[in-house]
Structure 1
Amino acid sequence: MSLRVGYVREHFSSPLLQYEADDDRKTFTLVECPSGTGQLIGRLTNDEIDVAIALTDPLISGIAKGSEAYKLVGSYVNTPLNWAVITGKDTKYQSIADLKDTTIGISRHGSGSQTMAYVMALQQGWSTNDLQFKVNNDIRGLIDSVNDGSTSAFMWEWFTTKPWVDAGEARFIGSVPTPWPSWMIAAHPTRAPADGLRVFLEKLSGYVRAFDSQENREKADVEFIKDKFGYPEEDITAWLKTVGYPVDCATIDTKVIQETLSVLEKAGFIVSPDGGFKVDHFVNADVAKLA
């Protein structure tokens, strides 16, 4: 059985794309999800994919809110994600503080662009009960919305958004790094067989370790990203200085789940049940190893 693996076509996905290029037996098929983690979760729910490589916070908050469409099976990026706060080219907004009581653009409900807006509000001391959102589906829709005035700003990964800023279509007014490692791997609890997932994660780990090596960071990684995504070399080099990958993709740090839940609860995005959250509830223990 070929696994259907959902992913976002961004520079973070480079090791996955390298694995897919070498997968002669076609043990998995990539399904691009340009709208991000909210779309990935929706496709897991709707039986359109079996596995998702997605942002940590929406994956964890989805399970916390009752989703049974997936469990966590692994880790993918163990460094924070730097979320840029972006507004339109000619708007009045000059800083994050200016966004209080305005409408924030998001890709989908439950997406990283929404959960990080709650984190931003927590940091600013705003009431999260007052946050207002407008769904704009993807990066193009988000940029259009900050320029037509229907939203004040949106949040997206810094280097992914930078080409639009460089082109003069939008402006950066701040950034909010995640307080947790940024990417994890989730899978449907029955559609993705444990044996197939173990093989997928073991082989993916090899590509991740190769990509993360100092030797490849100096040249091969830069050339691959330049060829696949067209980013300027200076942006690729700057990003590589900020990102780190796990040695073993099938290992999940218990503290990541606990601390992410704690921040999301403080931000008002999730509500803890009586007795608190149980880490075991979030993980498929037949596949992942908790550390």
Structure 2
Amino acid sequence: MAPLRVGFVREHFLTPLLQFQDADQNKTFTLVECPSGTGQLITRLNKDEIDVAIALTDPLISGIANGSEAYKLCGSYVQTPLNWAVITGKDTKFQSISDLKGTPIGISRLGSGSQTMAYVMALQQGWPTEDLRFQINNDIHGLINSVNDGSTSAFMWEWFTTKPWVDRGEARFIGSVPTPWPSWLIAAHPSPERAPPEALTAFMTKLSEYVRAFDSAENRAGPNVEVIKAKFGYPEEDIKAWLKTVAYPPSCLEIPSHVITDTLSVLEKAGVVKAPQGGFVIGDFVHTEAVKLT
């Protein structure tokens, strides 16, 4: 059986996955880095470049709701919300989220978390979501450049991932918008040739072991800080602050049904998805052979 091709974004949230890879002597999976985020992960699922993706909840769910057949949800990864920072350029006139109304917002790709959360931000601000304008800038470097060259007013990205640019004075935080849902899920191509259910189950069972170890009080007290510092170079105080905000599921093999229904409810209000007549069927969103709905 060929190793699963697992797409991921190299961020601190994925530390348990990287620890799993370091210990995977049998090479049961290979990692495919997707620096542009969830939009790129979904594109690579479509193009048969990866079989599994650990990605953000909202674009995964909205993709299926909007008709994608490239993947189904097959597991949970992070239980807590993602804190999306709202970032502008170092010398712009924008001082708060309310200043951004009617301005072009930078996103990494269409269908990405950076776009979905812009809709959620607009919903919170009471802006018409149909008035939002976007510019695609591919990755964090393109997004930083766009807010400093004036082609966009702001963009949204995970707080601690963006903080090094703010600390260096290359950008500014003007607010944040936490997700109204648990932040990360796991998805896989539904074809048994691409992602055999037994291989998926074995992968997520083992990943659950590394997630539980990482989430333990003992490792949170010290070892996690050193691992993240070594892999990502973040300051110790930032790592400790982030660890206070994040929680992982006891098992990656289960998805609470309310995660899907609650997320769809918000996305529908934001205008990102539209329910079909009779409503969404939750079972259509999941890989039933690989994951248990709770």
Residue 217 of structure 2: aligned partner: 214
Give the Å deviation of 1:251.
0.2
The CA RMSD over aligned residues, in Å, is 0.3
Which secondary structure does the structure 2 equivalent of 1:155 belong to? strand
Residue 94 of structure 1: aligned partner: 95
Query: For 2:276 and 2:100, how far apart are their aligned partners in 1?
Result: 32
Give the Å deviation of 1:271.
0.7
Structure 2 alignment gaps of length 5 or more = none
- Residues 20-39 of structure 1 aligned to structure 2 (within 5 Å): 20-39=21-40
Is 1:228 the counterpart of 2:231 in the alignment? yes
Residue 138 of structure 2: aligned partner: 137
Give the Å deviation of 1:207.
0.1
Which secondary structure does the structure 2 equivalent of 1:84 belong to? strand
- Residues 170-189 of structure 1 aligned to structure 2 (within 5 Å): 170-189=171-190
Residue 103 of structure 1: aligned partner: 104
Query: For 2:227 and 2:282, how far apart are their aligned partners in 1?
Result: 37
Q: Give, as a single letter, the amino acid of the residue that structure 2 aligns with 1:248.
A: S
Give the Å deviation of 1:161.
0.1
Q: Give, as a single letter, the amino acid of the residue that structure 2 aligns with 1:269.
A: V
Query: For 2:178 and 2:163, how far apart are their aligned partners in 1?
Result: 16
Query: For 1:128 and 1:270, how far apart are their aligned partners in 2?
Result: 12
Residue 270 of structure 1: aligned partner: 273
Give the Å deviation of 1:261.
0.2
Residue 283 of structure 1: aligned partner: 286
Give the Å deviation of 1:166.
0.1
Query: For 2:88 and 2:178, how far apart are their aligned partners in 1?
Result: 17
Query: For 1:24 and 1:220, how far apart are their aligned partners in 2?
Result: 22
Residue 19 of structure 1: aligned partner: 20
Residue 264 of structure 2: aligned partner: 261
Residue 63 of structure 2: aligned partner: 62
Structure 1 alignment gaps of length 5 or more = none
Give the Å deviation of 1:187.
0.1
Give the Å deviation of 1:80.
0.1
Query: For 2:152 and 2:94, how far apart are their aligned partners in 1?
Result: 11
**Stretches of 4+ aligned residues off by more than 6 angstroms:** none
Q: Give, as a single letter, the amino acid of the residue that structure 2 aligns with 1:275.
A: G
State the Cα deviation string for residues 6-33 of structure 1 (Å, max 9, x = none): 0000000000000000000000000000
Residue 53 of structure 1: aligned partner: 54
- Residues 69-88 of structure 1 aligned to structure 2 (within 5 Å): 69-88=70-89
Give the Å deviation of 1:40.
0.1
Query: For 2:282 and 2:251, how far apart are their aligned partners in 1?
Result: 19
Which secondary structure does the structure 2 equivalent of 1:133 belong to? strand
Is 1:113 the counterpart of 2:114 in the alignment? yes
Q: Give, as a single letter, the amino acid of the residue that structure 1 aligns with 2:241.
A: A
Query: For 1:31 and 1:194, how far apart are their aligned partners in 2?
Result: 20
Give the Å deviation of 1:170.
0.1
Query: For 2:228 and 2:251, how far apart are their aligned partners in 1?
Result: 22
Give the Å deviation of 1:239.
0.0
- Residues 239-258 of structure 1 aligned to structure 2 (within 5 Å): 239-258=242-261
Query: For 2:247 and 2:203, how far apart are their aligned partners in 1?
Result: 20
Which secondary structure does the structure 2 equivalent of 1:162 belong to? helix
Query: For 1:94 and 1:148, how far apart are their aligned partners in 2?
Result: 17
Query: For 1:60 and 1:218, how far apart are their aligned partners in 2?
Result: 34
Query: For 1:243 and 1:211, how far apart are their aligned partners in 2?
Result: 11
Query: For 1:187 and 1:173, how far apart are their aligned partners in 2?
Result: 36
Query: For 1:266 and 1:166, how far apart are their aligned partners in 2?
Result: 35
- Give aligned-pair identity as a percent: 75
Which secondary structure does the structure 1 equivalent of 2:264 belong to? helix
TM-score, normalised to structure 2's length? 0.99
Aligned residues, how many?
Answer: 291
State the Cα deviation string for residues 145-199 of structure 1 (Å, max 9, x = none): 0000000000000000000000000000000000000000000001100000000
Which secondary structure does the structure 1 equivalent of 2:109 belong to? coil
Which secondary structure does the structure 2 equivalent of 1:248 belong to? coil
Q: Give, as a single letter, the amino acid of the residue that structure 2 aligns with 1:77.
A: V
Give the Å deviation of 1:211.
0.0
Query: For 1:254 and 1:181, how far apart are their aligned partners in 2?
Result: 12
